[in-house]
Structure 1
């Protein structure tokens, strides 16, 4: 069990990306059911306002620091985390594991056209993966037919791209149907896998400025980015 670092009531795992992949691979091989949350400042702030959602996040087996704001916040609280672990990169590493181990993967979320393009690209880039199934994210509430479809596919991994809080809620509501499998909310990752959205160039990512690149490319995201200074202010007050 890794050390925990609390940031505004959410307990993050004190781990590197390499260590995380090793732990998750071990659990996959042991067929242990695993719930992973990649949390950024926006998710932490939402969890503060919504006790039920916070309970869901805290129920995860691993809470990973996705966002430079989390790293900065932990450092300000004198309890630093080793590194930022972007959710998209963690998902790509898990796809590498699935490719190598020939695992079954289910993809849930995004628009139908985007999802189909993402699946085509995954089949080309990861030929060892068994596509257990996929379904777009435009369904109402917690449709039991969707959950039954995923269950029938008997996947080793399930990537849920419904955006927070819905993706974590879906995993929490339906995890009792499964005896194994890694479940992880991946936000807009299918848009990137499909080629619809481009990631920031490597130099921006290395400088931890990916958030700024995305804001420049997608100005409509400014409301989401406004959470960062509010988050940092809350951390300062906590300190």
Structure 2
């Protein structure tokens, strides 16, 4: 069953990983670029104070929760939903689909290290995916035209972006009409969580993000 939940004024779709995959596969048969956004607590906290960024998120065709804290904030705690979020089931199913169908993928990242690690993981685990290019996108970048031309030149079926907020959603909001790809997947740093051991710093930052997020949720409950 697909239903909408609202967390910190952002509308998010709650559904099973298979239902999300079905929607994503259907997007591959449409001529326009469809946007799937896996939102994190970091993105929601940023959107709390930035209306234009919140709008950029909700321009997506499919907004999915990327962390279990988001479901818990909406009062959803069933074991299936929690398990699928923790194991990043939708992300894995989507990569398997791209692998089976020998799709062409373009990667957008923030560092050279991410290029090497993500390319290595995909090449090793999903060899059917053709990685047609990768580029770094830095906050405040003014090279949109160059990146759009590179993506279009690679004739990618899917763009996978692992960028931090607000860069990820703002980039596709600005350039959606110019990008010739079937699906844009904004995976944020969830891609890293799924494919490599987080550093000690990463764990601390995640813990702090969660504390602040839960505090904000409790604050909202008291206000209403």
Q: Would you say 1:125 and 2:125 are equivalent positions?
A: yes
Map 1:145-224 to 2 at 5 A. Answer: 145-189=146-190, 191=192, 197-198=196-197, 218-224=203-209
> TM-score, normalising length from structure 2?
0.84
Where does residue 234 of structure 1 map in the other structure?
Answer: 219
In structure 2, stretches of 5+ residues that fail to align are none
Where does residue 48 of structure 2 map in the other structure?
Answer: 48
CA drift at 1:10: 1.1
Matched residues in 2 for 1:54 and 1:35: separation? 15
Map 1:47-66 to 2 at 5 A. Answer: 47-66=47-66
Question: Are the counterparts in 1 of residues 139 and 167 from structure 2 also a CA contact under 8 Å?
Answer: no
Where does residue 204 of structure 1 map in the other structure?
Answer: none
Where does residue 36 of structure 2 map in the other structure?
Answer: 36
> What whole-Å deviation, never above 9, does each CA across 1:156-179 have from its counterpart, x for those lacking one?
111111211111111111111124
Query: Any idea what SS the aligned residue of 2:81 has?
Result: coil
Matched residues in 1 for 2:155 and 2:170: separation? 20
Question: Are the counterparts in 2 of residues 110 and 188 from structure 1 also a CA contact under 8 Å?
Answer: no
Where does residue 81 of structure 2 map in the other structure?
Answer: 83
> TM-score, normalising length from structure 1?
0.79
CA drift at 1:31: 4.4
In structure 1, stretches of 5+ residues that fail to align are 200-213
Question: Are the counterparts in 2 of residues 114 and 190 from structure 1 also a CA contact under 8 Å?
Answer: no
Query: Any idea what SS the aligned residue of 2:188 has?
Result: coil
Root-mean-square deviation over aligned CA pairs: 3.0
Matched residues in 1 for 2:4 and 2:11: separation? 6
